[in-house]
Amino acid sequence: MVSQRAAEWISGTIELVWFILALSTIWLSIRTLNRRGHPTQVNVIWYAFSLIFVIRIAVAFAAYAEGYSSLSMFLDHELHISSEYTLRLHSWLTNIREEFVLVISIIVVAIAPQLLTYGLAGIFGCAKPPALVWYFEELAAWSLIKFLAALSAIVFEEAISPIGFQGESIGATPARQIVEAALILMSAFGLAVLQTQLMDIVEGRSKAAFTSTWATWIHRKATRNLTTVPGRSGQDPNKHCPANS
């Protein structure tokens, strides 16, 4: 049987390994973003983290100085902000399931119909390039990235704060919460690397870097009836679509 002290030592070692891995990945992600010319994205993530962290820690110490045992109680009694609203805000900032629902909703409502339209119309050669697809994709991706950065700040603040949001925190130890915060922040920077790489590829395609690929061939076939007739300048491309005949 493993003694309790040995079990705690093993658990602490595992947490330390995860923490070092998270910090190393964050550092590599930042270097990658800077090397690819995306320092602004690094700043955005750190700003989302810093904004939430500073607000939370300032309110926590103010509440602690006034003798309160929870942030929600302090906000309710001193600032007259109903606990109902603060609980909703806290849930909105920490509920990753709701954030995923938001991201998926953006994709389904703004992107999926355009892609389906492109595919169906492309069968008849009447497809138009989907409008603002990459804009909405980037919007959804960065919504998730900034959410993860803010969530990381909240978890880190709860680890070092003298009081919890609703009182004494139970469950995870401060050390484990710090590791969790680092892993969440690692996820934010990792997604930022993937997102910027995707946008670099898209911008490369828009500059005709892949003119001989299968994607270009498919696009030409899908839009074959929307091209103007050679020698007839100023003609409406939609005129040649069979559906408009």
What is residue 164's three-state secondary structure?
strand
Q: Establish if 234 belongs to a structural domain.
A: no
d(C-alpha 99, C-alpha 90), whole Å: 13
DSSP string, 59-80: HHHHHHHTT-SBHHHHHHHTS-
97 is a domain residue: yes
Expressed as residue numbers, the domain containing 136 is: 38-119+132-194
- Sign, Cα dihedral of 92, 95, 96, 102: negative
Residue 138, in any domain of the structure:
yes
DSSP state of 227: S
Total tally of structural domains belonging to the chain = 1
DSSP-assigned letter for residue 243: G
Q: What is the pLDDT along the chain (245 residues), one digit of tens a residue?
A: 457 777 777 777 888 899 999 999 999 999 999 999 999 999 999 999 999 999 888 888 888 777 777 777 777 666 666 666 666 776 777 788 888 888 898 888 888 888 888 888 888 888 887 777 888 888 899 999 999 999 999 999 888 887 766 544 445 688 888 999 999 999 999 999 999 988 887 776 444 444 446 667 777 777 878 754 444 444 454 444 544 44
User: Which has the closest alpha carbon to 100: 166, 65, 147?
Assistant: 147
d(CA 180, CA 165): 17
What is the reported pLDDT for 230?
Answer: 47
Spatial CA neighbour of 178 closest among 65, 6, 45, 15: 15
The gap from C-alpha 176 to its chain's centroid, in whole angstroms, comes to 23
Q: 116-130 pLDDT, tens per residue? A: 888 888 888 888 877
- How many helices and strands, by DSSP H and E, does the chain display? 9, 0
**Residue 64 to residues 57, 59, 168, Cα–Cα distance (Å):** 10, 8, 12
For residue range 141-153, list pLDDT tens digits in order: 999 999 999 999 9
213 lies in some domain: no
| Residue 218 included in any domain | no
Whole-angstrom Cα distance, residue 245 to residue 239?
7
0.85 surpassed by pTM: no
